[in-house]
Amino acid sequence: MHNARNLLALAMIIVLTLVGARPSQAQEGLVIYSEYPSIVVGIGETLNLDVTVRVPESGIVALDVSDLLDGWTAEYRGGGRVIRSIYVEKDEPARLQLRLIQPERIAAGTYRFQLVARWGETTTTFPIELIVQEKTPAKLTLQTDFPVARGGSETTFSFNATLKNEGGEDIFATLSADAPREFKVTLRAAGKDITNLPTEIKANASQRIDISAEPLTSLPVGSYPITILAQSETAETSLVLTAEVLGQPQLTLTTPDGRLSGDAYIGETTPIKLVLRNTGNSPAFGVRLSASSPTGWQVTFQPEEVTEVPANSEVEVKANLKPADRAVAGDYIVTFRAQPKEGGSKSVDFRITVRTSTLWGVVGIALIAVALAIVGLAVVRFGRR
C-alpha cells in the first residue's frame, strides 16, 4: 500500500516534469501577456500598453523588459506609480500598464522586445512588436499668385497669400511681417487684423491672408521686399513679396503766396498767378488747365497747356479772369483745375470778390456838386440885403 502510493507520486512527478519541459505551457501557469502584441505607432508617440499577469499560486511577480534598444524607456505602472513587481493572487489576473517612451531620434521601422515576468524560479516572456511609422509632420506653406505689386510713392500695396497647414494636426501659427521701416504692414484674415497674433489653422486646411503695406512716408523709386513669416511651434515658412514703387508725378495747384482769394472788377480782366507744383518723383506731362467759373465769366489761361512740370519743381501759369457784365458785387467761387495726361486732376477753389467800378461814385459826387452849385448860383443871383 505504502509502496503503491510512492509509485503513484513518482509517476505524477514524471508526468509533471514532462509537461513542464514543454515551453510556455510548462512553467506552472505563470503568464504575462498583452492583448495586442503588434502595434503601429507614430514617431515620438508615447504608448501605454495594457499588460495582464496570471499566476498559478499567489505570489510576487517581478516585472522586466528585455531586448529593449538603447534610448527607449519602458516602465510598468500600477496604482499610478512606476512599479517593479506585482503581487498576483491565484486565479485572479493582475492588470497593469507598460509605458513606452520613444527615444528623441528614431527611424521608422519595426522594434521588438520582450515582456519578462519572474515568479520565484520560473520566468516567462512575451514578445511585443512595435511598428514605428513616420507620422505626417507639421508643415506650413505660404503661397501667392502675385508676389509683386506696383504703385506710386504713396499708394498702399495690397497682396494676398494662402497659408496652408499640410500637417496632420491643427496648429496655431503666428504671422508676422518683416518689411522696410517705411512700411506699416497689416495682415488680415477674414477681415480681422491678425498681425503678430496666433491664428488657428486646422489640419489640411488653408487660410487666405490679405496683406497691405502702407507707406509711412513718400517713398523713393525702388523695390522693397516684404517678408511674411508664419511660425508655429513645430513648423515655419516664409514668403517674400515685393512692393515696387514707380515714379509718379504729384501735382498741386496753388498760388505763389498760397492765397486763394482775390478781387476782380466787373468788365475788367484780372490776371491771377497760379503755380503748378510737382512734388512727385516723376515729371508730369501735358497738364491741361481749365476752370469752372460762374455763368458768363471768361477765364483763359496762359499757357492753356503746360507740356512738362519736372519732378520737384513748379511752373507758373497765368489765369485771366473776366467777370460777367451782369455779375453782382460780392464773393464767387471759381475752381481752377489741372489735368495731367496721366493721373488724376487737381483742383483749387478760388474765392473772387467781385467789385463794381467806382465810376458811378464820381457821378454821385458830381450830382452833389451840381446841387451845391445851384445853391451857389441862387445865392449869387438872388442874394440881397
Partner 1 sequence: MLKLLDSWRRPTEREGSPWIGLGAVLFKEMADHLTGARMRILELLIVITAVGTVYTALQNLNRNNSEFLYLRLFTTAQDPLPSFVGFLGFLVPLIAIALAFDAVNSEFNRRTLSRILAQPVYRDAFLFGKFLSCLLTLAIVFAAIWLLIFGLGIVSLGVPPTAEETGRALLFLIATVFYGGIWISLALLFSILFRSPATAALAAIAVWLFFTVFWNIVAGLLLPVFAPQQVTNLLDLIAVWELQLALERISPIRLFAEIAVILLRPAERSLGIILPIQLDRALLGAPLPLDQSLLLIWPHLTSLIAATFLLFAVGYVIFQRQEIRA
Under the rule (CB under 8 A), what is the footprint of partner 1?
292-296, 324, 326-334, 351, 353, 355-356, 358, 360-361, 363-365, 367-368, 370-372, 374-375, 377-385
The answer to whether 178 touches 151, Cβ cutoff 8 Å, is no
**Residue 262 beta carbon to partner 1: minimum distance, rounded to whole angstroms:** 13
Please, which residue, 5 or 385, has the CB nearer to partner 1? 385
Residue 160's SS3 state is strand
**Residue 260 beta carbon to partner 1: minimum distance, rounded to whole angstroms:** 13
Quote the distance between the C-alpha of residue 222 and its chain's center. 24
Q: How far is CA 52 from CA 30, 39, 96, in A?
A: 11, 16, 6
Q: How many angstroms separate the CA atoms of 292 and 279, rounded?
A: 25
**Residue 313 beta carbon to partner 1: minimum distance, rounded to whole angstroms:** 32
Neighbour count for residue 93 (Cβ, 10 Å): 13
Please, which residue, 203 or 329, has the CB nearer to partner 1? 329
Query: Would you mind telling me the total number of residues written for the chain in this entry?
Result: 385
**Residue 157 beta carbon to partner 1: minimum distance, rounded to whole angstroms:** 39
Greatest C-alpha distance within the chain:
201
Neighbour count for residue 99 (Cβ, 10 Å): 14
> Which single residue is written with the C-alpha cell 512727385?
280
Please, which residue, 222 or 361, has the CB nearer to partner 1? 361
Would you put residue 239 in left (φ > 0), alpha (ψ -120 to 50) or beta? beta
Q: How many angstroms separate the CA atoms of 127 and 136, rounded?
A: 28
Please, which residue, 313 or 358, has the CB nearer to partner 1? 358
Please, which residue, 162 or 335, has the CB nearer to partner 1? 335
Cis, peptide link before residue 303, omega less than 30° from 0? yes
Burial 118-155 (b: 16+ CB within 10 A, else e): bbeebebbbebebebeeeeebbbebebeeeebebbbeb
**Residue 290 beta carbon to partner 1: minimum distance, rounded to whole angstroms:** 15
Query: Nearest 5 degrees, angle CA 211-CA 212-CA 215?
Result: 145
The answer to whether 169 touches 138, Cβ cutoff 8 Å, is yes
Please, which residue, 203 or 369, has the CB nearer to partner 1? 369
Please, which residue, 189 or 266, has the CB nearer to partner 1? 266
**Residue 205 beta carbon to partner 1: minimum distance, rounded to whole angstroms:** 59
**Residue 325 beta carbon to partner 1: minimum distance, rounded to whole angstroms:** 10
Please, which residue, 36 or 382, has the CB nearer to partner 1? 382
**Residue 285 beta carbon to partner 1: minimum distance, rounded to whole angstroms:** 30
**Residue 354 beta carbon to partner 1: minimum distance, rounded to whole angstroms:** 8
225 beta partners:
242
Q: How many angstroms separate the CA atoms of 311 and 327, rounded?
A: 40
**Residue 306 beta carbon to partner 1: minimum distance, rounded to whole angstroms:** 25
Please, which residue, 9 or 328, has the CB nearer to partner 1? 328
Please, which residue, 108 or 377, has the CB nearer to partner 1? 377
DSSP E strand boundaries for 4-156: 31-34, 38-42, 47-54, 59-66, 73-78, 81-83, 85-88, 94-101, 109-119, 122-133, 140-143, 148-151
Q: How many angstroms separate the CA atoms of 379 and 371, rounded?
A: 13
